[in-house]
Each structure stands twice: as structure tokens, then as C-alpha cells.
């Protein structure tokens, strides 16, 4: 019952966040996260400016990396604060497919909140997609909540929605979803072992 209430509170909170993204913000503003009703002690993060980009067809590599394009410019995106299984890992393909489905809700149009560049030159970002109900879904948070990614703690500190990302992973872990359903190896350990 506690899990159901936590899940319900998170979904309501996410719904309110997404609704406010589209209905109450100026055209180029997205909230970086706000507390769910159950977790009102969390600080409300400031609004973040987003950039509208389109997915490059076939470029969803795994559950946390993709390419976007706008005006003949291409941008490689790495999701802030998450790490999904690599394609060759167990659950690698399973993590990529739900991300593709989420992106299809917005017909490939993505709202990018750029944060920084990583050591590979990728733009680390929070990524949103507008669904058919004129709401925006935080893909970083959704991938964690559904158990298709781990929180990448050492790289989550600059994420505007860090507190919500932590909560999303905690709920997936409690419910033993996806990567939390067994002895799955985190990708950072897998990469180190498979250099």
C-alpha cells in the first residue's frame, strides 16, 4: 500500500510539473522540477530555459544517449544524472526501446535543458518530450522511475531535478523494477570490466 501511495504521489507530482511546464510557463521556460505533494520538504528548483530540437532518426543509442538536430546543426545528448545499461549488457535493448516509445509521443520533438559538456563533447541535459495532452515528460526521471536506468550519482550534482531523480530511482528500487529486479551490473562497472 505504501508503494502504491508513493507511486501515486510521484505521478501526481510529475503530472502537475508537466502541466505547469506547458500551461503556465512562458514559451521558452520549463521547470527543472518541483516537489511532489508527498515530498514538500524538497526545495523548488528554479526554472530552466529549454531549447527545441528534433531527434535524428535512428540515433537513440541506448537509454541515456541520443542525437538531435536543428537548423542543420547536430547535437549529441547525454542524459544528466542517469546511466542506462549499455546495449551489449542485459537489459540494454530493453532500456532503449521504452525511450524510443516515449520520444514518439512528441513525434521526435524534444525539449532540451542543456547543463554542461562532458569529456566526450556531448551535451549533458535534462530532456523533455511533450505528449499528446500538452504536457511535458522529463525523460531522465521517467527512465529512472521505470527502472531502465540507475542514478549516476557522481554526475547528478548539476542536474536541476536532482532531488526528483533520486526519488524516482528510490521508487523503482522499492518496486524492484528493471535494473533493480536482480543482480544487474551497473553500466559504469560493466564499462570498466569490458575495456
Phi and psi torsions of 64, nearest 5°: -145, 10
Residue pLDDT, tens place only, 58-76: 999 999 999 999 999 999 9
pLDDT (0 to 100) of residue 73: 95
Say what the pLDDT of residue 149 is: 96
Q: Which residues of 31-40 are buried (b: 16+ CB within 10 A; e: fewer)?
A: bbbbbbeeee
The domain spans of the chain are: 2-193
* pLDDT classification of 49: cutoffs 50, 70, 90: confident
CA-to-CA distance for 61 and 80, rounded, in angstroms? 15
State the cell numbers at 77.
545528448
Is domain 2-193 in CATH 2.40.50.140, yes or no? no
Residues tagged active-site: 78, 86, 122
Amino acid at each position: 500500500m505504501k508503494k502504491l501511495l508513493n507511486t501515486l504521489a510521484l505521478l501526481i507530482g510529475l503530472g502537475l510539473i508537466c502541466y505547469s511546464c506547458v500551461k503556465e510557463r512562458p514559451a521558452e521556460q520549463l521547470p527543472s522540477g518541483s516537489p511532489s505533494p508527498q515530498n514538500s520538504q524538497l526545495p523548488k528548483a528554479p526554472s530552466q530555459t529549454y531549447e527545441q530540437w528534433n531527434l535524428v532518426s535512428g540515433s537513440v543509442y541506448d537509454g541515456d544517449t541520443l542525437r538531435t538536430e536543428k537548423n542543420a546543426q547536430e547535437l549529441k545528448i547525454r542524459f544528466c544524472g542517469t546511466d542506462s545499461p549499455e546495449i551489449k549488457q542485459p537489459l540494454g535493448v530493453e532500456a532503449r526501446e521504452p525511450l524510443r516509445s516515449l520520444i514518439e509521443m512528441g513525434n521526435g520533438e524534444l525539449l532540451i535543458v542543456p547543463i554542461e559538456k562532458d569529456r566526450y563533447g556531448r551535451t549533458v541535459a535534462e530532456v523533455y518530450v511533450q505528449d499528446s495532452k500538452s504536457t511535458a515528460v522529463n525523460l531522465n526521471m521517467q527512465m529512472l522511475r521505470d527502472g531502465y536506468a540507475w542514478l549516476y550519482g557522481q554526475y547528478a550534482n548539476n542536474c536541476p531535478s536532482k532531488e526528483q531523480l533520486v526519488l524516482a530511482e528510490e521508487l523503482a528500487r522499492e518496486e524492484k523494477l528493471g535494473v533493480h529486479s536482480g543482480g544487474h551490473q551497473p553500466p559504469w562497472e560493466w564499462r570498466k570490466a569490458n575495456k
